Amino acid sequence: MSETVDHEQQATHLQGSFPIFERAAGFQPAEQFQHLRFCIHSNPSWPEAILLAFQHYIVMLGTTVLISSFLVPLMGGTNKDKAQVIQTFLFMSGINTLLQTIIGTRLPTVMNASFAFIIPVMSIIQDFKIRKFEDENQRFSHTIRTIQGSLIVSSLIIIIIGYSKAWGFCSRLLSPVVIAPVVCVVGLGLFQWGFPQVAKCVEIGLPMLILLVISQQYLKHVHPRTHFLFERFAMLFCIAIVWSFAAILTASGAYNKVSELTKQHCRTDHSQLISSASWIKVPYPFQWGTPLFSAGHVFGMMGAALVSTFESTGTFFAVARLAGATPPPTYVLSRGIGLQGVGMLLEGIFGTVVSTTASVENAGLLGLTRIGSRRVVQISTGFMIFFSIFGKFGALFASIPLPIFAAIYCVLFGIVAATGISFVQFINHNSMRNMYILGLSLFLGISIPQYFNDFNDFKLFAGHWPLNTNAGWFNDIVNTVFSSAPTVAILVGTLLDTTLETVNTAVDRGLPWWIPFQQSKGDVRNDEFYSYPVRLGELIPTKYL
């Protein structure tokens, strides 16, 4: 009893000290974030939009270079092959992003290379590594053509589950209780690409992280005129400063007598992309040769394709919230995933080493700049396509050391993870049922993939992935599924949310608020954000809208 009196006295004291203090339960739920400068269908001025679009290009470049730099040498490719793969990646990302913003989800979502495909691609690499070839160039050719064939066949599954509306039907099982942990782990599940990569060259990675936080969050308050510049373009300033610092260290010989691994992460000239890239080269269909088809590898790639749809779904919800739009309805998710399948088909035809998914880092950039304009992302596709064709210019920016990108990811992935937390306001977070589902989905969504990733770190000693049966394609599917944090979180969360105490818990789960957004005519704002542009909707059959 005395403790209660003490708490009341403390509250009375606070009210006297702070006139604005009110004894209240908390903040009311808000469907849109506060302080967004531009939402999905509002646009900044053209000069500002172009600079913001360039930032989106720079941010997506890191993942593209990272995956290409990792896989192409293992495939037997040369630096020239790596530069060509990066150019093809950029070209296809530009095309797929433009299509996604026009006839897909219509969200300001950048489509970028996906880590989900690494396991089946590594299986293809290992398969051809033990075969005899005349030279490494021939091995590279056979490997990438097999990847092409696997992507082409796998894309048909994604196209079917998207445009048949099967994905939309399945997404009806989702509720805010599930979406919250899924969007959280979309950001948190990529933690290994944050500070662990920064620490690989801490003298440039850590200054980039500290400088970005200080300039973007603190220096913008120094003067009203600096607020605009630092809030929206601090990242570009920081990259220019730290990249120049890294170039000075490289030119001065600071990395001449260090290990090869340190050179790889710290030097600005170690990638050799500038010398290897062509001045002008337009990616074209089947540029590596006729695709090769292998049933076992196709099935493994199908597993990765399904995982990428789970990951994109989580990112779509994050982007919608960061862009000031309503949660994407089921029919929008269906056509977005269907178009992702079309993009995978095109990537198989043009020859990328992995397929694309909705970019988490670019989603975070929407929150960092507080600008969710669709037009900005559409303009960014012009940079992707331009720098994919004029390779020397694109290679210049691709030579930015990866720890600089990793420092940026620390901020951007964190913003996406926090966006997932914001969905909790729409449910009863005093319900122990909801807390159980949120906690278990979030924990297993991080813990299970961590086990698989740790196993991968020492798989050279074990000689295999956690699941190791005689069926290689089955191993690839299971290992890929359980290496993906969003996939594990969405499977665990959906299973628990649809089977655990479902009677009389609709209000606690936030369904009265949630369900109208999932229907085509449930909320009048859906058409405002997701309808097709101009009169395109009149040309497309109603069943595909």
Phi-psi region of 369 (alpha: psi -120 to 50; beta: other; left: phi over 0): alpha
Encode 431-461: b = buried (16+ Cβ within 10 Å), e = exposed: bebbeebbeebbebbbebbeebeebbeeeee
Q: At which residue do the structure tokens 């990646």 appear?
A: 89
Q: At which residue do the structure tokens 């359980």 appear?
A: 482
List the structure tokens of 239.
Answer: 């990259």
Phi-psi region of 504 (alpha: psi -120 to 50; beta: other; left: phi over 0): left
Q: What is the pTM of this model?
A: 0.92
CA angle 482, 485, 489 (to 5 degrees): 95
> 133-151, pLDDT tens digit by residue?
888 999 999 999 999 999 9
- Per-domain boundaries in the chain: 46-531
List the structure tokens of 460.
Answer: 């050279």
> 90-104, pLDDT tens digit by residue?
999 999 999 999 999
**Radius of gyration in angstroms for the set of CA atoms belonging to the chain, rounded to a whole number:** 24
Give dist(CA 189, CA 402) in Å, integer.
19
pLDDT tens track, the chain, 545 positions: 444 445 455 545 544 554 555 555 577 888 888 888 999 999 999 999 999 999 999 999 999 999 999 999 999 999 999 999 999 999 999 999 999 999 999 999 999 999 999 999 999 999 998 888 888 999 999 999 999 999 999 999 999 999 999 999 999 999 999 999 999 999 999 999 999 999 999 999 999 999 999 999 999 888 888 888 999 999 999 999 999 999 999 999 899 888 888 888 999 887 788 888 889 999 999 999 999 999 989 999 999 999 999 999 999 999 999 999 999 999 999 999 999 999 999 999 999 999 999 999 999 999 999 999 999 999 999 999 999 999 898 888 988 999 999 999 999 999 999 999 999 999 998 999 999 999 999 999 999 999 888 765 544 434 456 777 778 888 889 999 999 999 999 999 999 999 999 888 999 999 999 999 988 777 788 888 998 887 666 666 655 55
